[in-house]
Structures are given as structure tokens and as C-alpha cells.
Amino acid sequence: MNACVRAVVRTALYHGVEVYGIMRGYSGLIKGEIVRLDTTAVANMVQRGGTLLKSARSQKFTTREGRQEAYNQLVHHGIEGLVVIGGNGTFTGAQLFEQEFGIPTVGAPGTIDNDLYGTDYTIGYDTAVNTALEAIDKIRDTADSHDRAFFVEVMGRDSGYIAIPCAIGGGAEIVLVPEQEQSLESVIDMLQAGRKRQKSSFLVVVAEGDEEGNATTVAAKVKEAIPELDVRVTVIGHIQRGGAPSAADRLLASQIGIAAVEGLINGMHSVMAGIIDRKLVYTPFEDCIKRKKPLNQSFMRMIEILST
């Protein structure tokens, strides 16, 4: 997100617009944690992971009273428009806030899950996939050396967008994702078929929100069905959410940061800036929130073909 914040700040200054940073999201907005930003405030930030503005959830912003306090802070600081970075929850709050108080807002898609409608990729996604894949490559070495079946859990409570490229790039035999139902019986059958072909090691990538359960749950059920299988579980966890951003993420965040500011200047509001087919698009918050991003079925077919 730092690359996006940097782009927002420098684009605003380029156009002669004063810019402020709100610490800790809506929580900080309510509390008045607002700081004036200049070009030096975001110097040497494009390569840093995380966010210099911090992040926090705000239960109070879900109430009318909390949003009124947030609006009062904006008035006090003379702030006339907002750029918000986040996902469905962030945009839901922004849409309601604009409807109530008329503060024009443009969103930037910031979530490693890449599950937002209105953009091919979200900020942080490419870095998260590469981080997970690097770990999976190392796990594959152990699986091959010791003839084991590894069940690797990646993030994705409602989305398999991290799990799928990790499965393809990591050479996994099976991937389990929330969007596509796959029975435990079919997983067991595929593992048994592999064993009949004298295959001695397996890699199963599991999105944390899969209907059959997380990696630990699925692995336990498989071990019960195939006792002779040497099963191990690895949960990659929050390592996927940090680290220096990839080149692709830095470019995407910079593009979207510029687009968000220039969208506000040109009168746009209640929309998210995104990139589809390498072109800049603005999608209404309503669509981002309510419409579901479809899973690329050709990727699922790739896994089926390449795992044989």
C-alpha cells in the first residue's frame, strides 16, 4: 500500500492539491489522527511493505454517531475528498459515508485475496502469491526427499485466487478453493490413483476458506482414509501479507494511486479505480461490493491437465 500512498501524495501535489494522511483508517479519522503530507513524507517508501499510515478496524464507524464524528474531523481539517485503500468493507463504509455527508470518495483495491470485482489485480496480490510460492518450492523439496504428502494452506477465506496460481506454479497435484466444490472423496481418489502410478510425493494446496475445511482438517481426514500415507501440514499464514512488494505490485499501486486522485479532481466519486485488460477503469462501489469476481476456469483445467 505504501506505493499507492506515495502515488496519491505526489499526484495531489503535482496538481496543486493539499493532501493529508489519515492514520489507522476510519478509526483514526474519527479520532482526528490526521497529518499533513508532503513529498518528503513518502520518500523512500515505494519498496517498503505494509503501510506507513497503519491500518485498523473500526466498529464505531459502522454507527451513524461514529460517521458524524468522522465528518466533523474532515470539516475541521478542510478535507474535501477521500482516497480509500481496501476491500469490500472499506468500500461499503465509504459508500455509506458519501451518501450521508457528500464527501466524494474514490477507492483503490487493496487486498491480497484479489477477489474484488472491477479490477484484474488488487494491490498486494502479486507479492502474496510470490511469497507463498517461494515457500511452496521449498516444501516441495522436502516432499520429494521424504516421500510425503504435504497439505499447504494459503490465505483465501472466500477466494482461491492465491491458491490457484500457487498450485500451478508450485506443481501441486490438487487445489481446494472456496469457489469450487470438490469432495474429500475425490481428493482421496486422486491421491490413491497417484500412488498406483508409483507416485511417492504429493502437494495439495488448500485455501483457508475451502468448504472441506482448512489444511489441518483435510489432512487429518485423508490420513484416516489412507493410513499408510506420510502426511504433513504447513500453514504459510501471515508471511503472505508482508515483505517488499513485487515490481508488478509497485507498478499497479502507482497507477491506481494516480488514477484515484485524478478521478477525484475530474469529479468522480463513489467509484474504485482498477485495471482491466491493461486499461484503467472506474467501477461503482455498488458493483465492487455486490458483484462477485468469477474464478478463471481455464486455470482449474490447467491444474487437472498438469497434475496427471
Catalytic residues: 113
Q: Which of 277, 279, 280, 278 is nearest to 260 (CA)?
A: 280
b/e per residue 171-194 (b: at least 16 CB within 10 A): ebbbbbbbbeebebeebbebbeeb
Residue whose entry in the numeric block shows the C-alpha cell 474504485: 272
CB 88 within 8 A of CB 288: yes
Task: Tell which residue, 303, 170, 307, has the closest CA to residue 234.
Answer: 170
Alpha helices in 112-231 (DSSP H): 125-146, 163-170, 184-196, 215-225
Closest CA to 258 of 117, 113, 106: 106
Is the distance from CB of 209 to CB of 153 less than 8 angstroms? Answer: no
Residue 213: which of 180, 184, 256 has the closest Cα? Answer: 184
How many angstroms separate the CA atoms of 170 and 173, rounded? 9
3-class secondary structure, 24:
coil
Calculate the CA dihedral of residues 176, 177, 178, 179 and round it to 10 degrees.
-120
Report CA dihedral (35, 36, 39, 44) to the nearest 10 degrees.
-10
